[in-house]
């Protein structure tokens, strides 16, 4: 008399694997929800990388670069001097943005640039003093709302104190980050945690 083999067929196993994959593809994104503080920190790190890249672009091209922050639109863009004689003139045109090499992730009023992620905006939330202990006058604490780098990558005007850009989350006033820009063109990213600034 023959023995009856018990087990699963290959087709049954494949069907089970497909069902598990479908369930996982639905459940995993919901389980990995990013907190407002993480969204703000990611935006600040992205801004820091963009500033470093644009400073290096100024050095490589031996031209002036301006990074302008548009607070009401939660948007920033970069412009490079495209004059033939490198006179340092920037008129904030689309052509200057494209020449700057900024990785474009949006546009505002026809100017290409970078939109802050959904929910993240220029602002200081509950923070009243900056990471260096100074009062926060504006979320974009830069003269004219922009920073410029000369052909050597130094902040213009030479010897200026730089400034800071503050980011907050619209749903959590405790979710705050700051990107400081020193007069020597050094960038630092800080997070605001429990009333304290942390690097």
Q: Would the pLDDT of 30 be above 70?
A: no
Cα-Cα-Cα-Cα torsion 155, 84, 110, 47, nearest 10 degrees, comes to -30
Let me know: does 67 contact 140? Beta carbons within 8 Å: no
pLDDT at res. 47: 96
Q: Tell me the pLDDT tens digit for each residue of 163-185.
A: 899 999 999 999 999 999 988 88
Q: Tell me the pLDDT tens digit for each residue of 47-103.
A: 999 999 999 999 999 999 999 999 999 999 999 999 988 888 898 989 999 888 887
Which helix or strand (DSSP H or E) is residue 100 part of? helix 94-100
pLDDT at res. 102: 80
Is the residue at 150 inside a domain?
Answer: yes
Collapse the DSSP code of 179 into the 3-class scheme (helix H, G, I; strand E, B; otherwise coil) and give the result: strand
pLDDT at res. 2: 63
Is the residue at 167 inside a domain?
Answer: yes
Domain containing 87 equals 36-198
Is the residue at 82 inside a domain?
Answer: yes
Spatial distance between the Cα atoms of 9 and 121, rounded to a whole number of angstroms: 55
How many separate domains does the chain show? Answer: 1
Is the residue at 9 inside a domain?
Answer: no
pLDDT at res. 1: 56
Q: If 0-12 CB within 10 Å is exposed, 13-18 middle and 19+ buried, where does residue 125 land?
A: buried
Average pLDDT over every residue of 7-30: 83
Supply the CATH number for residue 100's domain: 3.55.40.10
The pTM of this model reads 0.80
């Amino acid at each position: 008399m023959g023995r009856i083999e018990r087990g699963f067929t290959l087709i049954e196993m494949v069907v089970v694997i497909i069902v598990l994959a479908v369930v996982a593809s639905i459940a995993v994104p919901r389980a990995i929800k990013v907190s407002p503080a993480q969204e703000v920190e990611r935006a600040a790190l992205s801004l820091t990388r963009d500033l470093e890249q644009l400073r290096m672009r100024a050095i490589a091209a031996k031209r002036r670069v301006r990074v302008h922050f548009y607070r009401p639109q939660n948007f920033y863009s970069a412009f490079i001097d495209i004059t033939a004689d490198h006179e340092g003139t920037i008129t904030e045109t689309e052509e200057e943005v494209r020449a700057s090499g900024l990785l474009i992730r949006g546009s505002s009023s026809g100017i290409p640039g970078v939109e802050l992620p959904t929910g993240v905006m220029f602002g200081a939330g509950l923070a009243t003093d900056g990471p260096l202990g100074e009062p926060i006058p504006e979320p974009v604490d830069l003269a004219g709302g922009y920073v410029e780098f000369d052909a050597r990558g130094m902040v213009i005007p030479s010897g200026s104190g730089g400034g800071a850009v503050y980011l907050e989350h619209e749903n959590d006033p405790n979710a705050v980050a700051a990107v400081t820009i020193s007069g020597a063109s050094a960038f630092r990213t800080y997070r605001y945690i429990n009333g304290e600034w942390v690097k």
